[in-house]
């Protein structure tokens, strides 16, 4: 069902691009993780592109210094995979970060755990 702008997609272009990037980057990390143990346990939790699509922040469940170093080493290969698998006018510059929501959730769980233990 087209919306008022004539699009046939049920959600915005940026959300579709974020999902496509998430899939491509996850596959690339899995592929590189087979040969580089620093990437073994990384999970992409989200992707956020800028409105002009010039850059994208890739969020991970956790990001150790070793994993960040490995991602920086493979950045060009990952961006090349994005370029090869999409038809974007320009390939966004990728930035890698730990997902703050995961850290916040962990902190909340710890607080609840302490409160529960205090009640016991």
pLDDT above 90 covers a percentage of the chain that reads 45
CATH fold group of domain 13-119: GMP Synthetase; Chain A, domain 3 (3.30.300)
Q: For 84-97, how does the pLDDT look when each residue is reduced to its tens digit (9 = 90+)? A: 999 888 899 999 99
- Round to whole Å and give the CA distance between 81 and 32: 12
Q: Which of 21, 83, 30 is nearest to 49 (CA)?
A: 21
Q: Note whether 59 and 99 are within 8 A (CB).
A: yes
Q: For 32-50, how does the pLDDT look when each residue is reduced to its tens digit (9 = 90+)? A: 988 899 887 888 999 999 9
């Amino acid at each position: 069902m087209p919306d008022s702008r004539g699009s046939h997609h049920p959600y915005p272009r940026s959300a579709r691009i974020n999902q496509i990037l998430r899939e491509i980057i996850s596959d690339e990390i899995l592929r590189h993780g087979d040969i580089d143990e620093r990437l073994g346990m990384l999970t992409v939790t989200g992707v956020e592109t800028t409105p002009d699509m010039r850059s994208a922040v890739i969020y991970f469940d956790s990001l150790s210094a070793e994993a960040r170093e490995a991602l920086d080493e493979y950045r060009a290969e990952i961006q090349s995979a994005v370029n090869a698998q999409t038809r974007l006018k320009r390939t966004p510059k990728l930035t890698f970060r730990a997902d703050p929501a995961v850290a916040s959730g962990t902190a909340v769980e710890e607080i609840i755990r302490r409160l529960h233990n205090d009640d016991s």
